[in-house]
């Protein structure tokens, strides 16, 4: 499984990239046919608060799962997006079994 990280209009630090790789490499436990995961890190200006957006696109055979999460930090957004994509991968795996 390939993990591609793209930070839109800023440079992500190495610690954040390592955290993303660490968390997303565990997705194989839930669905082992993941081809690649694209991660998009974005900053959104809404008033005085800059929200952090994490978008995950997981390519699996015959389908693509897209998840977006927004939070105050990239770590919180990543946790939320990871939880959502795990749920969707489990659901997709159950559908494939049936």
What does the pLDDT look like over 49-98, one tens digit per residue?
A: 678 999 999 999 989 999 999 999 999 999 999 999 999 999 999 998 88
Q: How far is residue 20's CA from residue 52's CA, in Å, rounded to a whole number?
A: 14
Contact 78, 53 (CB under 8 A): no
Q: What is the pTM of this model?
A: 0.90
pLDDT of 89: 94
What is the pLDDT at residue 45? 81
- Angle made by CA atoms 1, 56, 67, in degrees to the nearest 5: 130
Band (11; pLDDT cuts 50, 70, 90): very high
Q: Which CATH architecture has domain 2-97?
A: 2-Layer Sandwich (3.30)
Residue ranges per structural domain of the chain: 2-97
What's residue 53's pLDDT? Answer: 95
């Amino acid at each position: 499984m390939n993990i591609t990280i793209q930070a839109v209009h800023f440079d992500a630090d190495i610690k954040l990239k390592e955290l993303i790789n660490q968390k997303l490499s565990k997705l194989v436990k839930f669905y082992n046919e993941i081809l690649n995961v694209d991660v998009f890190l974005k900053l959104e200006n809404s008033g005085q608060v800059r929200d952090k957006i994490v978008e995950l696109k997981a390519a699996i055979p015959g389908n693509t799962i897209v998840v977006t999460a927004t939070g105050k930090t990239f770590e919180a957004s990543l946790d939320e997006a990871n939880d959502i994509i795990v749920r969707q991968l489990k659901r997709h795996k159950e559908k494939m079994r049936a």
